[in-house]
Amino acid sequence: MKILIKNAILLHTDKNKEEIGDLYIEDGHIRGIGKELNLDQNVEIVDGKNKVVVPTLIDMHVHFREPGYEWKETLETGSMAAVAGGFTAVACMPNTNPPIDNRMIVRYIYEKSNIIGLARIYPIGTITKGREGIEISEIGDMFLAGAKAFSDDGKCVLNSEVLRCALEYAKAFDVPIIEHAEDTNLTSEGSMNWGKTAIVLGLKGMPWVAEASIVARDIFLASLTEGKLHLAHISCWQSVEMIRWGKEKGINVTCEVTPHHLVLTEDYVKESGYDTNTKMNPPLRTEKDQEVLWEALESDIIDVIATDHAPHHIDEKMIEYNLAEFGISGIETAIPLMVTYGFHQRKIPLLKIFKKMSYNPAKILNLPFIPLEEGVPANLTIIDIEAEKEVDKDKFFSKGKNTPFHGWRLKGWPIMTFVEGRLVYREGKIFR
């Protein structure tokens, strides 16, 4: 295969550098990069106008459900959705059945990922055995088997002593503890953000303090232990202010935000007519929270954009709002949402957006990062930032069709995805 991409926007997210130039791929490797490459060989030429080339796009927060919940998603369907969404690698959360709390399941995920041969799937192990919040998992054993971080995601580690020990233990391996910040004593049986909208809709609310109080506690514990803390799916302005303070004090804390928290607010629950695809945890917050999240993204208080891809079966969403499962299928709409609302609407530079989806998550999780350089395998995504189309959940590769964005028209869709030298996705088709 010989492909020459002419006059595209090349984003060197590892070097904070952007350039207009050509990129030549032959036999799965980058053989040329620069200005006006002229080749005599019989090559396919791709017009790079309005095209962006991004290396090593990583979604560091997905739920691929296997083992145990294969009716929601499998490693294979999740991996197909990942490359269709433009991601070359993902990190999968451990709230499976059984949970990823031992080396055998860690190795299973690697072996299955290699067999599937699409996006690289990196497992995240549990902080505590069975995600019960009581006894720390065999962190060292799972790390040696390949676990890239540890989290009880979907559950918060409410016991401060347990989390303190986990931060100290994980520090020895230079891996992060990823916290789902939620005081469940304040959110039990809640369905959406606590406030006037919840009262009007007759739904029990989940207050911001349930998140922000745990964020504050965890930052103090990270300061005490000097451990590596990553805070998942931040949703309220109070959490942002605590993280800002922690960073200013030199505490080793990073965080992520999801596209749906940047694009939707609690008002959409009402506007959508109780669409259960607006039910997520943490819940959609207020316009003020949303604006602060965008500002924190631009000012680099927020380090990563991650999808929290949470596919569910239709039967788990087509029920009463308060009974429906939390979460949306987000991996196939993340890039067009960020291009549409981040780049086109808010004028955030593409380099800033995609650094938070490539180099930053690779650095936090110590994952391999393959740059745009001559001689290396093509591990990259080509995105047409002007291509506009309608979100169609029925065309998702994911088993999860639970999206609030069905029917939305978005700009900025991946057209080609290369994983370690292999073209695995091109304009709606998966290649093995």
Q: Is the pLDDT of residue 26 over 80?
A: yes
DSSP sequence for 28-75: TEEEEEESS----S--EEEE-TTEEEEE--EEEEE---TTT-TTT--H
Question: What is the pLDDT at residue 39?
Answer: 78
Q: Which two tokens mark 309? A: 């891809």
Residue 370 lies in a domain: no
Q: Is the pLDDT of residue 36 over 90?
A: no
Q: Based on the fold, state whether residues 214 and 172 are members of the same structural domain.
A: yes
Q: Based on the fold, state whether residues 290 and 420 are members of the same structural domain.
A: no
Catalytic residue among 183, 303, 308, 384: 308
Task: Confirm if 280 and 187 have CB atoms less than 8 A apart.
Answer: no
Q: Based on the fold, state whether residues 107 and 254 are members of the same structural domain.
A: yes
CATH number where 86 lies = 3.20.20.140
- Between CA 4 and CA 412 the distance in angstroms is 21
Question: What is the pLDDT at residue 120?
Answer: 98
Q: Which two tokens mark 358? A: 């490539």
Bond preceding residue 368 cis, omega within 30 of 0: no
Q: Based on the fold, state whether residues 16 and 78 are members of the same structural domain.
A: no
What's the rounded mean pLDDT across residues 4-16? 97
Q: Based on the fold, state whether residues 245 and 306 are members of the same structural domain.
A: yes
Active site residue 101: no
| 289 known member of a binding site | no
Q: Based on the fold, state whether residues 62 and 44 are members of the same structural domain.
A: no
Q: Based on the fold, state whether residues 309 and 194 are members of the same structural domain.
A: yes
What's the rounded mean pLDDT across residues 18-28? 96
Task: Confirm if 244 and 300 have CB atoms less than 8 A apart.
Answer: no
Question: What is the pLDDT at residue 147?
Answer: 98
Q: Which two tokens mark 152? A: 């009880």
pTM as predicted: 0.97
Question: What is the pLDDT at residue 35?
Answer: 87
241: which residues sit within 8 A by CB, 6+ positions away? none
Q: Based on the fold, state whether residues 12 and 101 are members of the same structural domain.
A: no
State how many domains the chain has. 2
Q: Residue 26 phi/psi, 5° resolution?
A: -135, 130
Q: Based on the fold, state whether residues 283 and 352 are members of the same structural domain.
A: yes
Domain boundary among 330, 346, 365: 365
Residue 371 lies in a domain: no
Radius of gyration of the chain (CA): 21
| 12 known member of a binding site | no
Residue 15 lies in a domain: yes
Q: Which ranges of 191-324 would DSSP assign to H, the alpha helix? A: 196-201, 208-225, 237-248, 259-263, 267-271, 287-298
What's the rounded mean pLDDT across residues 274-297? 98
Domain boundary among 309, 334, 365: 365
What's the rounded mean pLDDT across residues 402-419? 98
When comparing pLDDT for 38 and 128, which is higher?
Answer: 128
Question: What is the pLDDT at residue 38?
Answer: 75
DSSP sequence for 378-411: --EEEEEEEEEEE--GGG-SSS----TTTT-EEE
| 183 known member of a binding site | no
Residue 163 pLDDT grade (very low, low, confident, very high; cuts 50, 70, 90): very high
Residue 195 lies in a domain: yes
| 405 known member of a binding site | no
Domain around 174: 56-365
Q: Based on the fold, state whether residues 12 and 124 are members of the same structural domain.
A: no
Question: What is the pLDDT at residue 87?
Answer: 98
What's the rounded mean pLDDT across residues 265-286? 97
Q: Which amino acid is at 337?
A: L
Question: What is the pLDDT at residue 296?
Answer: 98
Q: Based on the fold, state whether residues 407 and 270 are members of the same structural domain.
A: no
- Between CA 196 and CA 23 the distance in angstroms is 53
What's the rounded mean pLDDT across residues 26-38? 90
Question: What is the pLDDT at residue 247?
Answer: 98
CATH number where 392 lies = 2.30.40.10
Q: Is the pLDDT of residue 412 over 80?
A: yes
Q: Based on the fold, state whether residues 284 and 385 are members of the same structural domain.
A: no
Residue 1 pLDDT grade (very low, low, confident, very high; cuts 50, 70, 90): confident
Condensed to tens digits (0 to 9), the pLDDT of residues 173-227 reads 999 999 999 999 999 999 999 999 999 999 999 999 999 999 999 999 999 999 9
Residue 395 lies in a domain: yes
82: which residues sit within 8 A by CB, 6+ positions away? 59, 62, 89, 90, 118, 119, 331
Condensed to tens digits (0 to 9), the pLDDT of residues 367-395 reads 999 999 999 999 999 999 999 999 999 99
Q: Which two tokens mark 251? A: 């505490």
Sign of CA dihedral 25, 27, 29, 31: negative
120: which residues sit within 8 A by CB, 6+ positions away? 88, 89, 90, 113, 419, 420
| 230 known member of a binding site | no
| 394 known member of a binding site | no
Question: What is the pLDDT at residue 42?
Answer: 87
Task: Confirm if 406 and 393 have CB atoms less than 8 A apart.
Answer: yes
